[in-house]
Structure 1
Amino acid sequence: MLPYRPPVEDTMFLLKDVFKIHEDWARWSKFNEVDLDLAQAILEQGGKFAAEVMGPVSQTADQEGAKWHDNEVYAPSGYKEAFDGVVAGGWLSLNGNPEYGGQGLPAVLSIGVEEYFWGANTTLWLYASLTVGAAHCIDVFCDETTKANYLPPMYEGKWTGAMALTEAHAGTDLGLLRTKATPVDDGSYRIKGTKIFITSGEHDLAENIIHLVLAKLPDAPVGSKGISLFFVPKFLVNDDGTLGARNSFFSASIEEKMGIHGSATSTIVYDDAIGYLVGAPHHGLAGMFVMMNAARLSVGIQGLGAAERAYQMASDYVKERRQGKAVQRPPDSDTEADPIIEHPDVRRLMLIQRAFTEGGRAFALFVAHQIDRSRFAEAPEDQVQATKFVELLTPIAKAFLTDRAMDSTIHAQQCFGGHGYIRETGIEQLVRDTRITQIYEGTNGVQAWDLVRRKVLLNGGEYVAEFAEYMRTNNTEGPYKEVVEGYINEWLDCTKLIMERSSNTLEFAAGNAADYLELSGLVIYAWLWNQMSGANDEHLNKKYTAEFYFDRVLPKIPSLFAAIQNGTDSIQTPESAWF
C-alpha cells in the first residue's frame, strides 16, 4: 500500500480562507489563545504521526488480523507500539475537559487530526476512537469523584472506552434488549447479559477498558423508556484511582469480518459484572446518545479518511499506468500508450472522488465548528442555533459522508483495473474497510429516518429553514451563488412537500427518507463548493473540481426531487411475502 499523505494544506485552507475559524476563536474566551499557527502545528504533527507510525502497519494488520485465545484478545503486530505513540502524543485529549487533564482545544482541530488517523490506519484508530465519546459521556453525566478517577487516564489513552448496545435480538430496536442490571446495597449494580459486535470491547493495548453498557433495571418500563446506562470497567477502580480486581465479564469470541480485520469485534458476556449508573434510571438513551452522536460523526470522518487515501493511491496510479491512446493526446505524447488519466472516463472517476472527498472535508470541519460554537460561542442565541445545526447535520454527516466514501473507494479501485482486485496494491482493503461505515453506529437508512422524522417533522421544518437561511446569509460572492440559491429553494420545497404529505401517515416520509438525505447532502455540498471556489485558492485549484460538481453532480437533485414527488406506492404496494 502506498504511503499516506495527510492533507494538511487543504485542512488549513478550509480553516483559514473558507470558514475563517480563527476569527471566532479570537472572539470566544475559551479559545482566544488558539490561533492558526497553533492549528497548523497540531495538524502537521498529527499528520506526521499518522503517516510515519500508523500507516505502515495498516496492510500487515489487515493480513494478520486480531487474535482471540481463551477469552483474551490480541491486537495485530505493531499495534502496541503505534498505540503507545497515540498515548505519548496526547492525541485522545485534544478537546477533553482541561479540569481533568484534557487539552481543551477546539473540536474542529480534533476532527481534523482524526481524519488523518482514520486515513492512515482505520483499525488502529478504532481501538481509540470510542474513548473520546465515552469520556465526554462520563464528563456530562457522572459525579466529580468518577470524573476525577476515570477521565485523566482516558484522556491519556491508558484506559480506552467501548460502547455496548447491541444484542443478538436487539440491534436498531434497543427496546428489545435483555441485559439486566440488579442494584446492590453499596450503590453499584450487577450487570448480566450478552452483547455482540462490540468494537474494542477487549484487547491488549490499554491498562483498562471502560464499557458503557445499556441494560434494564428490575422495575424498568417496557421498551426504550426502560433503558438505563452503566459504566462497567474491565478492572475495578479503587477510591484512589488505582486498579483493583478484574471485573466479571469477558470476550467469548471475536467476529470474522469482511473488512477491518485488525479491529477486534467481540461478543462480550457480562456475568454479574459490577457496574455504576450513568445519569438517571430509565434514561440511559440520553447518555448513550451523547456518545453515539460523537461516534456517528466520527464514522463519517472514518469514511472521509478512507476516501482521501483511496484518491491518493488512484491519483498516483493513473498518472503512471499507461494503456491505450487517449482520444485527445497530450501535445508532447510520442509514446505507444498514454497515462490512463488522459482517458475521459478515468478523469470522470477521479473528479467524482475529489468532489466528494474535498467537499466532505469541508462539511466535516463545518459540523465540528458548529459543535464548538454550540458550546463556547459568547452569545447564547449563537449556541442555540449551532445546537440545532449539529442535530440536523449529524445524520447527514454520518450517512452522506460514508455513502460517498463507499462510492469513492470503489471508483478508486476501478481506476486500478484488474490490479485493484488483488491484495498487493492495498486498494481492495480500503473498499472492504469502508463498507462497515454504512452499517455501524446506525445504518444509513436509520440515519435518513432520524433526519426526516426527528430533525424535520418533529420541529415542523424549523431546523431546515433556519439552516437554509444561514446558508443564504453566508453564501459568498462565488461563481455559483445564484445556482446555490436555487438549489436551497428546491431543498425547502422538498422539505415542505414531505411535511405536507406526512400529516396523516408516515409512509411517505419513511419511503423517501434516503432520497431526501441524499438531496440534502448535495445541496449542502453545493453551498460549500461555492464557498471554496470563491475563497483564496492559489495552490489548490478548487475551481476545477467545483466546475465538475456543478456541471456533473448537482443535476441529480431534480431527479431525486422527482422521485420523492412520485410518492411511495411502488414501495408499499407489494405484499411482504412477494419479496
Structure 2
Amino acid sequence: MAQYNPPLRDMQFVLHEVIDVVNEFKDIAAYAEVDADTINAVLEEGGKFASEVLFPLNISGDAEGCTLDKTTHDVKAPKGFKEAYAKYVEGGWPALSCDPAYGGQGLPHTVNQCFYEMLNSANQAWTMYPGLSHGAYEALQAHGTEEQKKTYLPKLTSGEWTGTMCLTEPHCGTDLGLLRTKAEPLGDGTYKITGQKIFISAGEHDLAENIIHLVLARLPDAPQGSKGISLFIVPKFKVNADGSLGARNGIHCNALEHKMGIHGNATCQLILEDAVGTLVGEPNKGLMAMFVMMNAARLGVGNQSLGLTEVAYQNAVAYAKDRIQMRSLSGPKAPDKPADPIIVHPDVRKMLLTARAFAEGGRALAIHTVVQLDKALHHPDEAVRKECDDEVALLTPIIKAFLTDNGWLATSHCMQVYGGHGYIHEWGMEQFVRDARINMIYEGTNTVQSLDLLGRKILSDNGKKLKAFGKKIAEFVEDEGVREDMQEFINPLGDIGDKVTKLTTEIGMKAFQNPDEVGAAAVDYLRVVGHLTFAYFFARMAKVALDAQKAGNTDPFYTAKLITARFYFAKLLPETAGLIRSCRAGLQPLMAMDEALF
C-alpha cells in the first residue's frame, strides 16, 4: 500500500537554484567538469534504484528481520536484501563519491548525500549496510597507512567489502573512555584484540564477502579514559598479502539485538577472541581517527531521518486525499460523496505541512552542509577549507539532532493522519515511526549533540563559528531586507538571529559561574539554533521562488514553495519563544528536588 517517489524536483531546486553547486565547485579541480546535467542524471537513476529495488523490500524486511545461526555465528539479512546489494554493486553505486585512485567515480559528496536520502526513504535498514562503509572508507583514507589504503580502500570502493565501526561496550554507552577491549602487540606489527562490542549495526551479514571492522581498544599501559584509546582494523576474514581472503578472524556475532525498529539491519553483539588487527594512526589517538567516521555517521543519521520524513509525508498526503471522514466545518467540500477527504480539515493540513516543511528545510540544510564539506576537503584555498570545515563542525550536531527530532515528530504526525490504520503494519506508517526513533539515540544521543554544539562548538571558541555563520545570515538580511515582498521572511529571520546572539551570551555568562548551566540549556538551545538555520534557508528558498515568479515562471512548484515557507514562519518558528524561555529558566528548576524525592 505504501509508495515512494524520489523528490528530484526539490533536490534540483536546492542544488541548482538555491545553492548553485556547479558554481560552488568551479574552483575545485576534481569537480570542475561536473555539470547540472550529470548530477541530475545520476540522481534520476539513483531514484529509480531506491524506489524500484529497495522500497519494495522495506515492509517485508521489517517483518522478517535478520536471522543468526548460533552454531556458525553467520547472519542472514531478510529475503531480497542480498540480491538488492548485488544490484547496488553492479550499478557502481558504492563508488559514487570515492577517489578514482581506488576505483571511485570521483563525484562530489553532495551527490552521494542526495542519493542516500532517497535510499533512506526507500529502506533505512538496508541502507545502513553500505552506508557504514563510507565512514570506514573516510577514516582509513584520512588516517590509514599507504599499505592499509591499498589493501582496503579499493574493496570498500567497489562494495565487495563493507565496513563497520565498533565503539561501545555493555558498560559504556556514549562514554567511550570506559571501554575495556584489549589490544596486545604480537611483535609482527599486528595485535591480538580481545573484548566485546554491542550495538554494532551491520556487524555480521551475508551481503558482502568480507566485513572490515574498525575497532576501538586499549594497548597495554595505555592512559586511562579517552586518551588511552587506539583504533584497529579487524577484518571478518584475514586478508592475505596478495589481497585474497584468508582464514576467519577471531571476531563473531554472539547475538542479535531485538530492536524496536530497523529490523532488517543486523545490530550485533560482537565477541573478539584473539582477533588479529592492525593499528590505524597513532597509538592512543584512536578517537581522533574514529571521529572522522563518527562525524560522517552523524551527518548520515540526520539524512536517515530526512529520508523518513519525506516518505512518511508522501504517504500521508496520498492517504489524506483519498480517505473520507466527516464534513468540513465550513460546509461540504465533496458533496457528491458521503463525507469529505480528510485533507480539508485544518489540523490534518497542519500535520502534513509540518512534515513537508521539516523535509524541505532539512534538505536545504543538509545539502548546504555537505557542499561545505566538499569544499573543506578539496578547495585549493586553505583559508576557504578552514572556513568551510568550521561551518561543517558547527552544523553537524544540528543536522544530527534537529533533523532526527523533526523526523520523529513528522513521522508521528503522518501516522496520526492515518488514524487507526496508521497503527497497522501493512500500511507502512508505524514502521517509519519505529525506524525514526533510533535516529535520536545512536551515534551520540541528541543530548550529546546539544552539549557538543553549545559547549564545544560555540562557547569553547567564544562563539567564533556561530558568529561566522551568523554573518552570512546578517548579510542576507541586509541585502534582501529592502525588498517589500521579502519582509515576511526577512523580519522573522533577523529577529531570531538577534535572539540567538543574546541567548548565547546569557548562557555563556551563566556557564562561567556554573558549567551545569550548559547542560540545563543545551537541548532547548540546539533546537533554537536549528530553527535559525531553517529560517535562513526558507528565506533563501522564498527569494528564489519569488524571483522565478517575477520572471514569469508559472510552475506551481514555486507557489507551493512559498506557501510552505509562509507556513514554516507562521506555525513552526514560533516554537522558539517557549524554548528561549526554557533556556533562560536555567539550572535551578532541574536541580531543586532532592534525589530521594524522585
TM-score by length of 1: 0.98
> Do structure 1's residue 224 and structure 2's residue 208 form an aligned pair?
no
Pick the aligned partner of 2:330 from 324, 328, 345: 328
Q: Which residue of 2 aligns with 1:33?
A: 33
Which moved further from structure 2: 48-57 or 377-386? 377-386
Q: 2:227 and 2:185 mapped to 1: Cα distance?
A: 18
Equivalent runs, 1:158-307 vs 2, <5 Å = 158-307=160-309
Equivalent runs, 1:374-393 vs 2, <5 Å = 374-393=376-395
Q: 1:202 and 1:381 mapped to 2: Cα distance?
A: 42
Equivalent runs, 1:58-207 vs 2, <5 Å = 58-69=58-69, 70=71, 71-207=73-209
Q: Which residue of 1 aligns with 2:409?
A: 407
> Do structure 1's residue 423 and structure 2's residue 432 form an aligned pair?
no
**Contact 1:111–1:365, Cα closer than 8 Å, also in 2:** yes
Q: Which residue of 2 aligns with 1:487?
A: 496
Q: Secondary structure at the match of 2:442?
A: coil
Q: 1:72 and 1:66 mapped to 2: Cα distance?
A: 10
Q: Which residue of 2 aligns with 1:3?
A: 3
Deviations 1:446-478 (A, max 9, x none): 111111111012111111111100222245634
Q: Which residue of 2 aligns with 1:534?
A: 543
Deviations 1:511-552 (A, max 9, x none): 110000000001110000001111146342211111111111
**Contact 1:55–1:120, Cα closer than 8 Å, also in 2:** yes
Q: 1:144 and 1:573 mapped to 2: Cα distance?
A: 56
Deviation of 1:362 (Å):
0.6
Which moved further from structure 2: 554-563 or 519-528? 554-563
> Do structure 1's residue 549 and structure 2's residue 551 form an aligned pair?
no
Q: Which residue of 1 aligns with 2:351?
A: 349
Q: Which residue of 2 aligns with 1:497?
A: 506
Q: 1:112 and 1:539 mapped to 2: Cα distance?
A: 23
Q: Secondary structure at the match of 2:75?
A: strand
- The code of the aligned residue for 1:546 comes to A
Q: 1:110 and 1:539 mapped to 2: Cα distance?
A: 28
- The code of the aligned residue for 1:495 comes to T
Deviation of 1:335 (Å):
2.5
- The code of the aligned residue for 1:523 comes to L
Q: 2:399 and 2:282 mapped to 1: Cα distance?
A: 29
Q: 1:329 and 1:375 mapped to 2: Cα distance?
A: 58
Q: Paired residues, what number?
A: 579
Q: 2:223 and 2:459 mapped to 1: Cα distance?
A: 26
**Contact 1:374–1:384, Cα closer than 8 Å, also in 2:** yes
> Do structure 1's residue 439 and structure 2's residue 441 form an aligned pair?
yes
Q: 2:583 and 2:431 mapped to 1: Cα distance?
A: 35
**Contact 1:210–1:234, Cα closer than 8 Å, also in 2:** yes
- The code of the aligned residue for 2:51 comes to A
**Contact 1:507–1:568, Cα closer than 8 Å, also in 2:** yes
Q: Secondary structure at the match of 1:434?
A: helix
Q: Secondary structure at the match of 1:4?
A: coil
> Do structure 1's residue 577 and structure 2's residue 577 form an aligned pair?
no
Deviation of 1:105 (Å):
1.1
Q: 1:133 and 1:331 mapped to 2: Cα distance?
A: 51
Identity %: 45
Deviation of 1:322 (Å):
0.5
Q: 2:259 and 2:574 mapped to 1: Cα distance?
A: 37
Which moved further from structure 2: 366-375 or 310-319? 366-375
**Contact 1:67–1:74, Cα closer than 8 Å, also in 2:** yes
**Contact 1:167–1:195, Cα closer than 8 Å, also in 2:** yes
Q: Which residue of 2 aligns with 1:309?
A: 311
Q: 1:111 and 1:278 mapped to 2: Cα distance?
A: 26
Q: 2:240 and 2:476 mapped to 1: Cα distance?
A: 52
Pick the aligned partner of 1:562 from 576, 581, 586: 581
Pick the aligned partner of 2:519 from 510, 517, 528: 510
- The code of the aligned residue for 1:490 comes to K
- The code of the aligned residue for 2:590 comes to I
**Contact 1:183–1:190, Cα closer than 8 Å, also in 2:** yes
Which moved further from structure 2: 535-544 or 423-432? 535-544
Q: Secondary structure at the match of 1:502?
A: helix
**Contact 1:329–1:338, Cα closer than 8 Å, also in 2:** no
Deviation of 1:378 (Å):
3.3
- The code of the aligned residue for 1:528 comes to F
Equivalent runs, 1:451-470 vs 2, <5 Å = 451-470=453-472
Q: Secondary structure at the match of 1:220?
A: coil
**Structure 2 residue runs without a partner (length 5+):** 481-485, 549-554
Q: Secondary structure at the match of 1:438?
A: coil
Q: 1:31 and 1:215 mapped to 2: Cα distance?
A: 38
Q: Secondary structure at the match of 1:558?
A: helix
Q: 1:180 and 1:296 mapped to 2: Cα distance?
A: 26
- The code of the aligned residue for 2:433 comes to V
Which moved further from structure 2: 329-338 or 187-196? 329-338
Deviation of 1:185 (Å):
1.1
Q: 1:68 and 1:435 mapped to 2: Cα distance?
A: 24
Deviations 1:135-194 (A, max 9, x none): 110111111121111111101111000110110001111111110000011100000001
Q: 1:546 and 1:426 mapped to 2: Cα distance?
A: 28
Q: 2:531 and 2:196 mapped to 1: Cα distance?
A: 40
Deviations 1:65-106 (A, max 9, x none): 000012110000000110111111222222112211122211
**Contact 1:329–1:342, Cα closer than 8 Å, also in 2:** no
Let me know the Cα RMSD of the aligned residues.
1.2
Q: 1:219 and 1:101 mapped to 2: Cα distance?
A: 40
- The code of the aligned residue for 2:186 comes to V
> Do structure 1's residue 450 and structure 2's residue 452 form an aligned pair?
yes
Deviation of 1:330 (Å):
6.3
Deviations 1:423-450 (A, max 9, x none): 1211011111111000110111111111
Deviation of 1:394 (Å):
0.4
Deviation of 1:28 (Å):
2.3
- The code of the aligned residue for 2:9 comes to E
Q: Which residue of 2 aligns with 1:397?
A: 399
TM-score by length of 2: 0.95
Q: Which residue of 1 aligns with 2:533?
A: 524
Deviation of 1:331 (Å):
6.0
